[in-house]
């Protein structure tokens, strides 16, 4: 058995493809509803993506959110605890719909939003990015930060963003990706199993999917070096928090978390995994 933050999902590698892995939305929800979600918040903060608010602002400015009016509506696919949604509503004054498949995450996001001055600008919905609960041409911006790696069918996902985005609207997202150096199958198996990722794309692979649907890419960026630097930060945070993690979740989970984050750190510095950014427009 290989231990992961999934409290401990057992993978039969003889049944797993090198690029596609047999993790369902229920597996992902189990992680984020339990200890896994708490540990990732510990490492990354409540935004639960690489770089936190600083990276949210970078993506927001690239998407032009600092120049638009406050009457636009943004859809955040895989909104988790609602950290980015609250940040965007507060700082840029826009309306945000947060969409997440995990009921516990949506409930916690609502709790953390209650009583905020901008609470009326945010709505949270339970649902999947593969069947977005919204009508055609509903949103001015479709957004995602480091979470679409949990969605198996990337083609369907991008098609759904196109369906719900208004003509002239903006698609803006970042995600974890395979890097420029290939991995051995056993290594990629461990990396994917630890994170409970069913599928990862590449920088160019995502670009091709986006363009095939009809988007015009405005910008794509390889963030691999920054990704590796953040992995260095996360292992330091994790190791400093060892006593608290062991007290709260037990030594086995701490050891599993440390092994997994160290593996991702190593792979990031070897350019086997990374992170990308895309800005695209719907004509």
Q: Has residue 250 got a pLDDT over 60?
A: yes
d(CA 19, CA 201): 9
> Residue 106 and residue 121: Cα distance in Å, rounded?
16
pTM of structure: 0.90
54 is written with which tokens?
């600083």
Q: Which residues face 22 on adjacent strands?
A: none
Q: In whole angstroms, how large is the CA radius of gyration of the chain?
A: 18
Contact 34, 9 (CB under 8 A): no
Q: What was the pLDDT predicted at 23?
A: 87
Q: What is the mean pLDDT of residues 10-32?
A: 63
pLDDT surpassing 70 at residue 6: no
pLDDT of 28 strictly over 90:
no
pLDDT recorded at residue 2: 33
The pLDDT mean for the chain works out to 91
Query: In the predicted model, is pLDDT for residue 68 greater than 90?
Result: no
CA distance 16 to 12: 7
Q: Report residue 200 as tokens.
A: 């990862």
Structure token pair of residue 219: 């910008």
**pLDDT average, residue stretch 55-63:** 97
Residue 19 has a pLDDT of: 67
User: Tens digit of pLDDT for each residue in 196-215?
Assistant: 999 999 999 999 999 999 99
All structural domains of the chain: 36-281 (3.40.50.150)
pLDDT band for position 25 (50/70/90)? Answer: confident
The helix/strand/coil state of 177 is strand
Give the pLDDT confidence score for residue 14 in this predicted structure. 29
Using the predicted structure, report yes or no on whether residue 53 has a pLDDT greater than 60.
yes
The predicted pLDDT at position 18 comes to 47
Per-residue pLDDT at 272 exceeds 80: yes
Partners of 217 in beta bridges: 280
How sure is the predictor about 62, in pLDDT bands with cuts at 50, 70 and 90? very high
Tokens of 56: 């949210």
Structure tokens at 210: 């986006």
In Å, how far are 13, 163, 236, 253 from 81, measured between CA atoms? 32, 25, 23, 22
Can you give the length of the chain in residues? 283
């Amino acid at each position: 058995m290989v231990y992961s933050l999934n409290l401990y999902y057992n993978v039969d590698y003889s049944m797993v493809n090198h690029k596609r892995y047999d993790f369902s939305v229920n597996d992902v929800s189990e992680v984020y509803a339990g200890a896994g979600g708490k540990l990732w918040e510990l490492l990354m903060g409540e935004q639960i993506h690489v770089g936190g608010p600083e990276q949210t602002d970078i993506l927001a400015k690239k998407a032009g959110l600092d120049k638009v009016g406050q009457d636009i509506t943004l859809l955040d696919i895989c909104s988790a605890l609602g950290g980015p949604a609250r940040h965007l509503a507060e700082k840029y004054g826009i309306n945000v719909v947060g969409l997440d498949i995990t009921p516990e995450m949506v409930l916690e996001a609502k709790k953390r939003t209650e009583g905020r001055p901008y609470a009326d600008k945010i709505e949270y919905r339970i649902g999947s990015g593969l069947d977005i609960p919204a009508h055609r041409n509903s949103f001015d911006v479709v957004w995602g930060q480091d979470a679409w790696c949990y969605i198996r069918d990337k083609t369907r996902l991008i098609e759904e963003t196109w369906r719900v985005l208004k003509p002239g609207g903006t698609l803006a997202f970042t995600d974890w990706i395979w890097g420029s150096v290939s991995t051995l199958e056993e290594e990629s198996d461990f990396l994917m199993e630890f994170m409970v990722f069913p599928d990862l794309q590449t920088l160019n692979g995502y670009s091709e999917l986006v363009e095939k649907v009809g988007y015009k890419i405005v910008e794509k960026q390889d963030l691999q070096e920054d990704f590796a630097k953040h992995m260095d930060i996360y292992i330091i945070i994790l190791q400093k928090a060892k006593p608290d993690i062991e007290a709260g979740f037990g030594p086995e989970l701490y050891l599993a978390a440390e092994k997994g984050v160290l593996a991702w750190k190593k792979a990031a510095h070897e350019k086997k995994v990374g992170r990308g950014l895309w800005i695209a427009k719907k004509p």
